[in-house]
Amino acid sequence: MSKLALSVLISLMFASTALTATAAQAADGAAPKKHHLKKVKAHGPMRVAAAEPGERVVKRVVMVHGRRKVVYQRMIVAAPPVPTMGDLAGLNMTHDPLDLKSNVALVLDQANSEVLFEKNSNVALPIASITKMMTGLIVVEAKQNMDEILTITDEDVDREKFSSSRLKVGTQLSRADMLHIALMSSENRASSALGRNYPGGKPAFVEAMNAKARELGMVDTHYVDSSGLSKMNVASARDLAKLAMAAYQQPILRQYSTDAKAMVETNGRPMQFGTTNHLVASPDWAIGLQKTGFINEAGRCLMMQAVIEGRSVIMVFLDSKGKQSRTADAGRMRKWLEALKPAGLSAPAAYSTGM
């Protein structure tokens, strides 16, 4: 945004504020008072979107008892929201009867793979940390020693998204603990260490991930790392449902992904980690497997197995907007499924839309 456009935007904001204040005073039959300036300052810094984020100090000229007075106000200029890959593909134009905030959704009956609900389910999109479920499946099927101690090294530091981690370089954990916090807390350095300590290192691990995807018939899937930080880790919702069904067969993946919290020993000191999905701790939900994910290009993502009205289902939500939107979408879907059973409805009532 140019400086001229930004100045016009700021001027309009100030004019709107002044008109609102004047109208309110006229409605109350009150004349402007000196403390009006204090109220302006009390509002704190304003926030607007602009191409160049940062903090600005804005000079304002106001009238107090017929005299001009100069005041200064901080303005925080926020960067505009980054469009997801789904938005760029136009998936946000697809509407559904549940008003889901996710651009992609899929619900399957786990027993017979019957599609109960789908929305853009064949579109391959970035899947962020849902990638870690395939990481877990590869580790478990490789039958590596789960008690072996692994060390976080500089190679595990995220230099793509610069994500934070509680695991400092030099931290030592068992392979089991690395897998536990990778699935439960979406620990990126733990996921990286799991891939790096596979026979043949990370390249061989990523190849094993892609080979497993082909074996499961995940035709729209491609992996480039073990953590999901890259936007090049892509899959469709239909593919992720296949992954969820395969991962559900592994008890350790069910347990680790659905623990609400866990204490692990890091270099001899206890450290507590928690889940990234608050639904697993809810007594209203019976969840057998889950994984969340988020990067800017992917939006908020969720893959989950749950029992609803006695029926085991696989749910996948991709490219959702808002921190709690993916779990809110799961809640909407649950109510919809609960309404189907009393009515005796199943496949004919399934909803399908999108590309």
Active site residues: 129, 132, 186
Coil vs helix vs strand at 261? strand
How many whole angstroms separate alpha carbon 206 and alpha carbon 135?
Answer: 9
Residue type, 276: T
Query: For tokens 């409805």, what's the residue?
Result: 345
Q: What are the binding residues for substrate?
A: 291
- 251: Cβ–Cβ under 8 A, 6 or more apart, which residues? none
Are the C-beta atoms of residues 346 and 116 closer than 8 Å to each other? Answer: yes
Residue 97: C-alpha distances to residues 18, 182, 208 (Å): 42, 35, 39
Which among 343, 323, 180, 326 is positioned nearest to 265, based on CA atoms?
180
Residue type, 262: A
Handedness of CA 29, 33, 37, 42 (dihedral sign): negative
The token pair that represents 13 in the structure block: 């904001």
Report which secondary-structure segment, H or E, holds 14: helix 3-28
